[in-house]
Amino acid sequence: MRLRGDSRARGTELCGDQPKESLTLMSETRHWDYVIVGAGSAGCVIASRLSEDPNVRVLLIEAGGSDRSPVILAPAATDVYALGRPDWDWCYTAEPDPSRRGRADFWPRGKVLGGCSSINGTIYIRGNAHDFDAWAAEGASGWSYRDVLPYFRRAESNDLGASEFHGADGPLSVQRLRYVHPLTYQFVAAAVESGVPFNADLNGASQHGVGFNQATQRRGWRHNTARAYLDPVRRRGNLTILTRAHATRVVFAGSSAVAVEYDHQGVHRKAEAAREVVLAAGAIGSPHLLMLSGVGPARALEAHGIEVVSDNACVGGNLQEHAGVWLTYRMRVPTLNNETSMLKQVRHSLNWLLFGRGPATTAGAQAVAFLRGDGSQAQPDIQLHFVPVGYKFLPTEVVLYDEPTVSIIPNVCRPRSRGRVYLRSSNPYDAPRIDMPLLDHSEDLSLLIDGCRRVREIMSRPAMAGLVVKESAPGPQVMSESEWETYLRDTVVPCYHPAGTCRIGGGAGSVLDPELRVRGVMGLRVADASIMPRIPSGNTNAAAIMIGEKAADLIRGRRERSAWRN
């Protein structure tokens, strides 16, 4: 089943990838007010909002192609059919991790209109209010929860309705799940039996507790930022969207960013920006492009023969990721693993295509719990995802189990381990080096062990215990602290939430000022998950969309008044 490619885009060019050997010398220069690199979770938002002013010309450059595929639009299809596929994924691989016995993970990042909002699990979790207050306290003035809540609300069209915490008329559809597996209800009940409070709104007044996810979906179809922010405005004459356009360098005149060079349709081109260049290429792509352009650690840039425009040792540093582990249970009742036969896949595909219902609408997790580990923290420090299907991560793909299985994934909310993105070479087509020791800090390991034990406690409660055949992973042989440590170092994986590599802050220890302007240069901003000083407690896509909304106002010189009630 294939959906026809979008043909409504005025000024949008969709074309096949070109081998770099076929590129000609630069033959075209065009002029814009704003040039945005990356049509991802934040970039689509910024392009849409800036082009609301008919007097400015906006160019949005995206290295990937169209999001018009059922593999992208059917939420349940993405994990199995999109991750690790170069049609939609950058297919990065991290360096061997010394904190996990040299394991090297694949790090999917969206290479498609909508970016990671096109290949994620559609889970809508904003993060804890105290996360954003911590940003402000550490020098990111204007980014407290009071400051960012209006932008979360502005983005949303939430089926919970308008309230102090939610918007009802924004571009992004946020809805309750249209399909919930019976075992998800049992998991929530078991968590409550174990003492976890039920939370009807995990993005509301409190994050603590267990509840059912909302998703970035519209009537069961993925509602990424391309569909939410670009589709309604594609016919604007002042907005041009280029796909299959690989940005290679920001061009500077002295210390001012004046253009972006990119490869498109076999031609090396340049787009001049009269006002600003905005990088929204993500936590891996944005620092990579900064360094390729001469902004970064001087010694490292010079080692690759790159002329230094601004020496900033922080570019690429502060890399953060949620470390998680998949605990699986063999069940006595069917799970989504029992729905994978060809006949059932056809039936579920039709149900999704015609009615927006059924298992094909399943989000990456159907329920989430936020827990306090040892009770010493005021805010939750462990997150659990419940998934009514079992699958495992191999180095280059995700594989489903062939027996009825559920997965519960504990992860550390606010990890202390830090990594870095490095240049591999000066060739813009060479992927950067990603060094992320996920278990480098002992507290992260301790919290994960606490999370695993809490999972066992929940699964032993009456609502779930009678439905479990056995704990498949890790199994009852793992009990002691040392046994858990050995198991986790062998099995922990990234949750695909990288952040922090172009952090905002109030001083020299940051890449950006609180207005998202790159320190040491002019006319250049960054707006995506890379700006986060600390990773939020929860999935990062909602926060990246908020960043796009706030970035557009900062660029336009506007300030959103807080809707916070005193």
Does residue 564 form part of some domain? no
* pLDDT at 340 (0 to 100): 87
pLDDT at 446 over 50: yes
Q: List 324's β-bridge partners, or say none.
A: 411, 493
pTM, to two decimals: 0.93
For residue 349, give the 3-state DSSP assignment. Answer: helix
Q: Is the pLDDT of residue 321 over 80?
A: yes
One domain, residues 62 and 146: yes
Residue 267's DSSP bridge partners are 24, 264
Of 491, 510, 528, the residue at which a domain comes to its end is 491
Q: How confident is the model at residue 173 (pLDDT cuts 50, 70, 90)?
A: very high
**Of the candidate ranges 23-37, 89-103, 238-252, 502-516, the one whose mean pLDDT is the lowest:** 23-37
* 12 and 135 assigned to the same domain: yes
- Average pLDDT of the segment spanning 173-194: 98
Question: What mean pLDDT do residues 277-281 have?
Answer: 98
Lowest mean pLDDT, pick from 70-84, 258-272, 370-384, 426-440: 370-384
Question: pLDDT at residue 282 above 60?
Answer: yes
Within a domain: 29: yes
Taking the C-alpha atoms of residue 107 and residue 498, their distance in angstroms, rounded to an integer, is: 9
Rounded CA-CA distance 136/117 in Å is 26
Whether 86 maps to a domain, the answer reads yes
Question: Are residue 35 and residue 86 in the same domain, yes or no?
Answer: yes
pLDDT value of position 396: 62
What number is the average pLDDT over the span 224-242? 97
pLDDT over 70 at 275, yes or no: yes
| pLDDT score recorded for residue 26 | 45
What is residue 400's predicted lDDT score, i.e. its pLDDT? 82
CATH number at residue 467: 3.30.410.40
User: Could you tell me if 83 and 119 are in contact, meaning their C-beta atoms sit under 8 angstroms apart?
Assistant: yes
Residue 5 has pLDDT above 70, yes or no: no
CA 197 to chain centre: 27
Task: State the Cα–Cα distance between residues 16 and 36, nearest whole angstrom.
Answer: 21
565 within some domain: no
The pLDDT of residue 28 is 60
Where does the pLDDT of residue 361 fall: very low under 50, low under 70, confident under 90, or very high at 90 and above? very high
- Given this model, what pLDDT does residue 559 score? 65
Cis ω before 359 (30° cut-off from 0): no
**Confidence at 558, pLDDT banded by 50, 70, 90:** confident
The stretch 184-206 carries a mean pLDDT of 97
Are 201 and 275 found together in one domain?
no
How many domains would you assign to the chain? 2
Identify the pLDDT of residue 521: 98
Residue 137 belongs to domain with CATH number: 3.50.50.60
Q: Give the model's pLDDT for residue 507.
A: 84
Q: Residue 184 corresponds to which tokens in the numbers above?
A: 């998800």
Query: Does a structural domain hold residue 200?
Result: yes
Domain that includes residue 190, residue range: 178-212+323-412+440-491
Q: Is 106 in the same domain as 205?
A: no
**Looking at the structure, do residues 240 and 290 belong to the same domain, yes or no?**
yes
Closest-CA residue to 65 (of 28, 107, 110): 110
**Same domain as 396, residue 370:** yes
Give the mean pLDDT of 360-369.
Answer: 96
Tell me how far apart the terminal alpha carbons of the chain are, to the nearest angstrom.
52
Residue recorded with tokens 């994960």: 448
Return the pLDDT at 373. Answer: 78
Residue 461 shares a structural domain with residue 395 = yes
- Under the banding of pLDDT at 50, 70 and 90, the label for residue 24 is very low
Identify whether residues 281 and 229 lie together within a single domain: yes
Check whether 19 has a pLDDT greater than 50: no
Catalytic residues: 497
User: Can you read off the two tokens belonging to residue 410?
Assistant: 């504990």
Q: Please give the pLDDT value at position 375.
A: 61
pLDDT for 179 equals 97
Q: Which residues, 6+ apart, have CB-to-CB distance to 245 below 8 Å?
A: 13, 61, 62, 63, 262, 263, 264
Average pLDDT, the chain: 92
Residue 299 confidence (pLDDT) above 50: yes
Question: Are 164 and 234 in the same domain?
Answer: yes
Query: Is 244 inside a domain boundary?
Result: yes
Q: Does the residue 8 lie in any domain? A: yes
- Give the three-class secondary structure for 490: helix
Residue range 68-91: mean pLDDT, rounded? 93
Same domain as 279, residue 207: no
Q: Region 21-47: what's the mean pLDDT?
A: 80
The share of the chain scoring above pLDDT 70, in percent, equals 92
Cβ-count burial of 336 within 10 angstroms (0-12 exposed, 13-18 middle, 19+ buried)?
Answer: buried
Query: Would the pLDDT of 503 be above 80?
Result: yes
Flag whether 249 is in a domain: yes
Instruction: Write out pLDDT tens, residues 379-392.
Output: 999 999 999 999 87
How long, in residues, is the chain? 566
Q: How confident is the model at residue 374 (pLDDT cuts 50, 70, 90)?
A: low
Same domain, 65 and 182: no
Domain boundary among 491, 511, 532: 491
Is pLDDT of 216 > 70? yes
